[in-house]
Amino acid sequence: MMYLKKEQNVNRFDKNNEPALRCSLPAEITLETNDSFAGQVQSEEDSMDSFDYDIINPCTGPVYFEGVKPGDVLEVEIRSIRCKSPGWAMCVPNEGVIGHLVKEPKTKIYHFDDETIDLGDGIRVPAEPMIGVIGVAPAGEPLRAIMPGDHGGNMDNNMIKAGATVYLPVQVEGGLLAMGDLHVRMGDGESFYTGIEVGGVVEVGVRVRRDLKMDIPFVKYNGRFASAATEETVDGAASKAMEKLVQFIVDNGRLGFYEAGFLCGACAHMEVCQVVDPHKTMRMAIGLDVLKQAGVEI
């Protein structure tokens, strides 16, 4: 299995990034990642006032896959996520859903093991590691790793856990896959500005799919399949998430537009990914068993 160190990272998804690794597909890769603030948080006394914002959300990679071209889809199987304790969370005035109620920045350190997280105040919850940032290079202008979009990026999609498969439409030759921003646990929405931010190690298996038609990321996890759509507003992202799921069913199954729309109206669920970044990301999820009946094989 190929290995990338956390120092082999980029802060932008950019078609001109020099690859940290070149390989053919299928591939098995282990990627060590730093936390979202590149190790700048060391104690509860640290605050965003003193941070270097140019290095946030470092993403390990990118990986150039030989023979991969625009129009292909990278199928990235998340085989394991191992997080490094401790982690941290932060709130900041005017950031997040209730940022208007936050009067001063605060940082909290969390300790955890492979099974549980100590939240303090006598509260322990299961660890549920996930990947906040995963994506490929956009065909257009570079995008900071803090930004989500059609390339993937900072989607903060809580479905992207061990056992999930992420589908990323390739926009440039080689794809240029990179990932980072792990959380040992994060609620949908990341609504108080962060999840529990950590560094760690991710093991993935990657192959190319040329039989699927999609132009935004999708995720398969725990018997469900979901579009992941980003727009400037939650309403815009929600509309796009449904549009892209309906179109995926039409393009890859046996139903027409109206039939696929009725199917989603009856069986799909609109859910939040994140609402704190410059743009917002929503997902629309449907059961794999339902998709199979509609002629869609993932």
Q: What is the CATH number of the domain that holds 131?
A: 2.60.120.580
For 111-161, write each residue's pLDDT tens digit. Answer: 999 999 999 999 999 999 999 999 999 999 999 999 999 999 999 999 999
Q: Are residues 256 and 142 in the same domain?
A: no
Tell me, yes or no, whether 172 lies in a domain: yes
Question: Do 106 and 159 lie in a common domain?
Answer: yes
| Residues 100 and 156 placed together within one structural domain of the fold | yes
Residue given tokens 């856990």 in the structure block: 161
Of the two residues 118 and 51, the one the predictor is more confident about is 118
Write out the residue range of the structural domain in which residue 82 sits.
2-209
46 confidence band (pLDDT: 50, 70, 90): confident
CA-to-CA distance for 3 and 53, rounded, in angstroms?
27
Asked whether residue 182 is domain-assigned, the answer is: yes
Whether 298 maps to a domain, the answer reads no
pLDDT over 70 for what percent of the chain? 100
Give yes or no: residues 43 and 138 share one domain. Answer: yes
Strand partners, 39: none
> SS3 string of 77-89?
EEEEEEEEEEEEE
Tell me what pLDDT residue 274 has. 97
Q: What is the pLDDT of residue 228?
A: 98
pTM higher than 0.95 for the full model?
yes
Report the alpha-carbon distance of residue 86 to residue 196 in Å, rounded. Answer: 9
∠138-139-144 over CA atoms, to 5°? 35
- pLDDT value at position 48? 72
Q: Quote the CA–CA distance of 204 and 183 in Å, as a whole number.
A: 17
Q: What is the pLDDT of residue 159?
A: 98
Residue 152 lies in a domain: yes
d(CA 111, CA 83) in angstroms, rounded, equals 11
- How far apart CA 31 and CA 178 sit, in angstroms, is 9
Q: Are residues 98 and 240 in the same domain?
A: no
The enclosing domain of 263 has a CATH number of: 3.10.28.20
DSSP-derived 3-state class of residue 251 = helix
Q: Report how far residue 272's alpha carbon sits from residue 132's, in angstroms, rounded to the nearest whole number.
A: 13
Query: Is residue 136 a part of any domain in this protein?
Result: yes
Coil/strand/helix, residue 36: coil
* Predicted confidence (pLDDT) per residue in 217-272, tens digit: 999 999 999 999 999 999 999 999 999 999 999 999 999 999 999 999 999 999 99
Q: Which of 187, 209, 231 is the last residue of a domain?
A: 209
Which of 209, 243, 260 terminates a domain? The answer is: 209
What confidence tier does 54 reach under pLDDT thresholds 50, 70, 90?
A: confident
CA neighbor of 223 nearest in space, from 287, 128, 296:
287
> Do residues 164 and 265 share a domain?
no
User: Do 195 and 227 fall into the same domain?
Assistant: no
The verdict on 170 and 275 lying in the same domain is no
Contact status, residue 186 vs residue 195, Cβ threshold 8 Å: yes
Q: Are residues 263 and 117 in the same domain?
A: no
Same-domain status, 204 and 232: no
pLDDT confidence band for 175 (50 / 70 / 90): very high
Grade residue 51 by pLDDT with cuts at 50, 70 and 90.
Answer: confident
Q: Is 115 exposed, middle or buried (0-12, 13-18, 19+ CB in 10 A)?
A: exposed
In a domain, 200, yes or no: yes
Domain count, the chain: 2
From 209, 236, 259, the end of a domain falls on 209
For the chain, what is the mean pLDDT? 96
> Same domain for 150 and 285?
no
Instruction: Show the DSSP H helices in 216-286 as ranges.
Output: 234-252, 257-267
CA distances from 220 to 43, 68, 96, 287 (A): 36, 21, 27, 9
Residues 40 and 128 in one domain: yes
> Is residue 231 in a domain?
yes
